[in-house]
Amino acid sequence: MMNETMPFTVSSFYTFLKQKKFMAVKCNECKTKILPPKPMCTNCLSTNLKWIKVNDAGKLLSYTVIHVAPEQFQSMAPYCVGIVEFEDGLRLPGMICDISPEKIKIGMRLKIDTISIDSSQWPPWGRYCFRPV
């Protein structure tokens, strides 16, 4: 019920994620699926949208190792960021946690999860990362 009333924003996306729900948006007009959520369809510009649940596991499409990190992530370097492809070609970029860089392989299964970080520079949404399945 709550799902239907949440605005189609990134803020809602994080709210769902905290509840262990990985949600994308689907256009009721042209059926395009959108991740991260946007308030308008990227294909037909319709605002007639609905929330859909997405399987939280996907495969790693590509990644890189960050050695020169922004200030708030310097204590974590070197770390990896990658693009994960979920069902129906939906993709997200993000940090890959709980695995050393040399063990990461393109095509490996990863799942999206929440992560906590102490930083006043980050919006009060929480954050996500990818972890090995």
- On whether the CB atoms of residues 61 and 29 are closer than 8 A, the answer is no
**Which 8-state DSSP code applies to residue 102?**
G
For position 93 contacting other proteins by CB under 8 A, the verdict is yes
Tokens matching residue 4: 């239907």
* Interface pick for other proteins out of 11, 43, 64, 72 (rule CB under 8 A): 64
**Residue 28 one-letter amino acid:** N
For position 11 contacting other proteins by CB under 8 A, the verdict is no
Measured from the CB atom, is 91 or 109 closer to other proteins? 91
Is 62 strand, coil or helix? Answer: strand
* Piece of 58-66, 70-78, 96-104, 117-125 that binds other proteins (CB under 8 A): 58-66
Region for 98 from its dihedrals, namely left if φ exceeds 0, alpha if ψ lies in -120 to 50, beta otherwise: left
Min dist. Cβ of residue 5 to other proteins (A): 27
* Interface pick for other proteins out of 2, 30, 61, 117 (rule CB under 8 A): 61
Tokens matching residue 38: 């946007």
Give me the residues that bind other proteins (CB under 8 A), please: 61-62, 64, 83, 91-93
